[in-house]
Structure 1
């Protein structure tokens, strides 16, 4: 079977970052979005990104960033990948990719089969797609809400290689999610937390182990 690519997102401490790296995570994510309980400052992000350099791909999650913020983030974290989790248009994704010279992962909110219509336009400009559950109405966060969508929506869909599944995943259900979607890349945040923003090293290890068993 294909090795499953695993991303642990929303890391904010050395201990939990080390737990993700030691468990074998392929990507580690740092959220720079003040509304999120997982938000890290640029200074904090700089330290964590340096700690992870060369050990995993370092992803910075941004929400509708302007050019000034992009420049500051690149300078501080020097990320390997930029994850866009807002309402960025395909044109804006292409602009960010060209401006920063970094691979871009674009998150797409999914609630119904009709949401898949947008995928080709983003496939053309992003290096990787991340399919996440649409947030509930009125939610402050575009992701990290611990919700999953109906994975059967993806049955028969033509998805680009590397498409990543997110939303409501944990060690108990990730095997089922992989089997039902046929995807080989997963992202987790709230599913490895004790409470919003507080990661649990044991849950991180269990999640990565569960994906490797599936692989």
Structure 2
């Protein structure tokens, strides 16, 4: 299976164009007001229309309520809803069933014990994302903190659902991450930015190229 590459935290049509031209499979729109990558529903509608048919649209939410999610499903029509908060497996299952939209659940990882949650989320999700667990500070965001974790913890992880890797990835380390973990995909946000919230087309191209090259090396081994 071809490696999935997601460019998250997209805020402009230019960033979408760069991601698509580079060969990314997914673009992520962030709906979390504390994030420098947050987009309003109005902006997201325009971005989704720009990306439609060119890349899969992932809507990242953090403990969103039913009203917001229903509006999101109707107005944006994402291909995938990503849950990046404290949503329980029951909550994920209920939303997935109610909205009939594929879902991805992010699981924060800092140590081996954190992997215990993966099995229950795998039962109710279409995809999973293993991300660096955010630091315990008031300013920390659920994701996009530019932090890595010990990738050996998830090397070869196979819970019966595709698993993507996130957390501190950038053009300089994504090849190593792909080769070591052998997961289904990689997800980058801050690692391809010039400043928080502003994607750099050159870094996007370099990231996707490095990820694809690493997968190709693995297939030839």
Name the TM-score, length of structure 1 as normaliser: 0.96
Deviation at 1:161, TM superposition (A): 4.0
Hey, what's the Cα distance between the residues in 1 that align with 2:156 and 2:214?
Answer: 21
- The answer to whether 1:132 aligns with 2:144 is no
Hey, what's the Cα distance between the residues in 1 that align with 2:211 and 2:155?
Answer: 20
**Would you say how many aligned residue pairs link Structure 1 and Structure 2?**
214
Q: Check 1:7–1:157 CA distance in 2 against 1; reply closer, same or farther (3 A cut).
A: closer
Q: Check 1:52–1:157 CA distance in 2 against 1; reply closer, same or farther (3 A cut).
A: closer
8 A Cα contact 2:60 2:81, kept in partner: yes
Name the TM-score, length of structure 2 as normaliser: 0.94
Q: Check 1:101–1:156 CA distance in 2 against 1; reply closer, same or farther (3 A cut).
A: closer
Unpaired segments ≥5 residues, structure 1: none
- The answer to whether 1:79 aligns with 2:78 is yes
The aligned residue for residue 141 of structure 1 is 141
Unpaired segments ≥5 residues, structure 2: 216-221
Q: Alpha-carbon deviations, 1:148-167, whole Å to 9, x = none?
A: 11011124644334200000
Hey, what's the Cα distance between the residues in 1 that align with 2:13 and 2:69?
Answer: 24
8 A Cα contact 2:96 2:102, kept in partner: yes
Q: Alpha-carbon deviations, 1:14-66, whole Å to 9, x = none?
A: 11111001111101100011010000000000000011111111000000010
Hey, what's the Cα distance between the residues in 2 that align with 1:107 and 1:122?
Answer: 9
Hey, what's the Cα distance between the residues in 1 that align with 2:157 and 2:74?
Answer: 38
